[in-house]
A and B are shown apart, each in its own frame.
Chain A
Amino acid sequence: MKFSSVIVEDLQVAADFLKKFCDKCGQVDVLAHFTNAEDALKFLTENVVDIIFLDVEMPGASGFDLMDQLVYHPQIVLTTSKTEYAYDAFQYNVTDYLKKPFTYQRFLEALQKVYKKRETDGIEAEQEDHIFIKADGKLVRLKNDDILFIESMGDYVKFVTADKKYITHNTIKNLETKVNPQRFLKVHRSYIVNLSRIEDIQENVLLIKGHSIPISKAHKARVMQKINIV
């Protein structure tokens, strides 16, 4: 299976090389090339990709600004001519960091890291079948299967199971990175849902055990990609 990708790069020569490398390896489809973060964000709001080849310094918003605003987490391969961003790259957990100009061999090494990260993320996610939350003055173990959805309540969140609700001090943004990404998906800035508990989806609303949960425009593409449509 090929990876889907976009190139976000204001230097045409660098983008041309990258596109050539993607074509040559036969494992990466480049869906689009953008010369600024704003246009890329518009595209990525409505389309889901596996990899973003991302420059850091561009006219307007930076590559890091773009990562801050993404509603899902594709693998990021930073392409920059400065090594000073290495610390930030580490903080953002990017898959690889390519210093321009880079060779085809170096590009292939980055691609290997993409494969490896996908594999590792998958294994880790499969192993996590529960989470612990602080509620009622103790740590409560919740099985992933039992959680229907998680709802934001300002500085608190509500974990909803079939027979109980738990309110705990946390945020959806924080939980988004903590829950098992194979099982849970943010569908709105205030909601994370258990994908296996979705009963039906109508337009911009999904139903779980009688609860209607909105799907925001920004998250719709990701939801449609994650559910199994035959």
Chain B
Amino acid sequence: MKIGVVTFPGTLDDRDAKRAVRLAGAEPVSLWHADKDLHKVDAVILPGGFSFGDYLRCGAIAAQAPVMETIIDAAYGGLPVLGICNGFQILVEANLLPGGLIRNEHQHFICRDQKLIVENVDTAWTNQFTLGQEITIPLKNGEGGYIAKEETLKELEGEGLIAFRYSEVNPNGSFNNIAGLRNAKGNVVGLMPHPEHAVEPGFGPDTDKAMRSGVDGLNFFSSVINWMVKA
């Protein structure tokens, strides 16, 4: 199973995303922003970073990249797409997910081990979790505040399109504690925290058992493998 990981100028977490894919048992494929060809991948990850320097708006310029044209079409056709942090911002700019992401309420970049509640398990990227499961995933961003119009929020809540919510602490002022969303079809998921940083024992968040042993992020990647196998 092949999972594409896109690199834009300024992308930072592509190598980590590829490692996560490998650890889950699939083959990572590097996709370059200027190349429209998706090279027959079964799913795509838009990783974290500061694509195009966050110029104009986070993810705004990346959303216009040649590779995104193909990805947007493919997403409408059901291709699983995961947007992490900057990737979530790109999905929002590309209108694959609704709302907007703005500067953290407290005005600072924050890097912390964040507790999340899994609110939806019927997606390509969350089907290996249990509904309501609490997981710990590293969060690191300056522009993670999720906002949306009243009607949009009502719709998201009403139709169960919220994939993850912040638990215990809302680190950035996101409305309704929204940490991540899914689309109606369930193939597109975007979230601010970084699952790819919680996949390898020894390099993830601390747990009660041992330092840096948290691997709650692995399920994201095994989920998409499971989704494709079933498809």
Whether A associates with B in a native complex is: no
Using CB atoms and an 8 Å cutoff, list the residues of chain B in contact with chain A. Answer: none
Using CB atoms and an 8 Å cutoff, list the residues of chain A in contact with chain B. Answer: none
